[in-house]
Amino acid sequence: MGLERLLDPLISAVDRALRALASPARASRPSPAEGVTAELSEAERRKSAALMRVNHAGEIAAQALYHGQALAARSEAARGLLLRAAREESDHLAWCEQRLRELNSRPSLLNPLWYAGSFAIGALAAAFGDRASLGFVAETERQVEGHLDAHLARLPPHDTASRAILAAMRTDEIQHAATARAGGAMEVPAPIAGLMRYTARLMTGSAYWL
């Protein structure tokens, strides 16, 4: 019985990883870009595709962070909050994946690396307790909000489809941060927040091209 309690969460974690990396993403909500048309030049298409590839990689990382944190969460309340957020992030993943196909592009080749690294970071954050883990969620989502604002400014003006997706994602990220704070999130120390920003820049810079 004790072995089953240990193995079940690990099996679930492996299953979630395989679904995120190897299966077509499925959304529980319609894409915000549904029915939206965007006529783009070839240069605009390439730029939009690169930006959406970065956002898709970010959603892979978000899935992994939440899954790692959920695995090591100390309370069922924290675990439930994290898994609910992960399900909403899976919508974002599906929306970005669909948009990449529409732009005749592909996800980042480094997605398995982003998933593995983010899962480890999430589990480490959760090892410091639920309040620290939720603080990590709040800070991550705050930084993601800024990242989405920057991408909304950089998207080609005519790409209303990608813009609709990023705007909806931004709304969800703000809600995730607010939920984490309401759940008792502690403030992330400034050096940790700075390291998070540096890691995010490394990922986004690589995913733009690869």
Nearest alpha carbon to residue 110 among 46, 57, 55:
57
pLDDT above 50 for 6: no
**Mean pLDDT of the 171-187 span:** 90
Q: Binning pLDDT at 50, 70 and 90, where does residue 209 land?
A: confident
pLDDT above 50 for 180: yes
Q: Binning pLDDT at 50, 70 and 90, where does residue 17 land?
A: low
6 found inside a domain: no
Number of domains in the chain: 1
At residue 3, the pLDDT reads 44
133 found inside a domain: yes
3-state helix vs strand vs coil in the chain, percent to 5? 80, 0, 20
23 found inside a domain: no
17 found inside a domain: no
pTM: 0.85
The residue behind tokens 């929306």 is 95
181 found inside a domain: yes
pLDDT above 70 for 9: no
Q: How far apart are CA 206 and CA 177, in angstroms?
A: 26
The parent domain of residue 57 ranges over: 40-209
φ, ψ of residue 118 in degrees (nearest 5): -70, -35
CATH number at residue 86: 1.20.1260.10
**Mean pLDDT of the 130-134 span:** 90
34 found inside a domain: no
4 found inside a domain: no
35 found inside a domain: no
